[in-house]
Amino acid sequence: MPNSQEASRLLQLARDARTRGDSLLHLQFDVAQLSGESSSWGSADNRMLRDDHVGYFLSEVEKLGWRLESTSHVFVESGATTSSRILGTGQGVVNHGGVEGFFTFRAASVD
């Protein structure tokens, strides 16, 4: 889930779009981070830090009168660290970046 300031901003965008009568809403935010540290042996130690609260946030958007229509995700690399391996050839690589989620909502029909 986005941090509280970003979540508030995104929820306000959803409220404003609903008030204007928009039929579609598109939101994007980080859903995971890839990080790690190089080791003295030259190997890579990557870790994926997932956000287990994305569903809760998406539910909050739906409470405002939107229905999730489509999602997609992309990895955005922010850098990498390499180190030479002690025993053998080659290098260990540690990537850094985030998984960005793209969420498209359709205005729910009002009964």
For 4-34, write each residue's pLDDT tens digit: 899 999 999 999 999 999 999 999 999 998 8
**Buried residues in 30-67 as b, exposed as e (16+ CB within 10 A):** bbbebebebeeebebeeeeeebeebeebbeebeebbbe
Q: Which of 90, 93, 104, 84 is nearest to 34 (CA)?
A: 93
* CB atoms near residue 89 (< 10 Å): 7
Q: Give the pTM.
A: 0.77
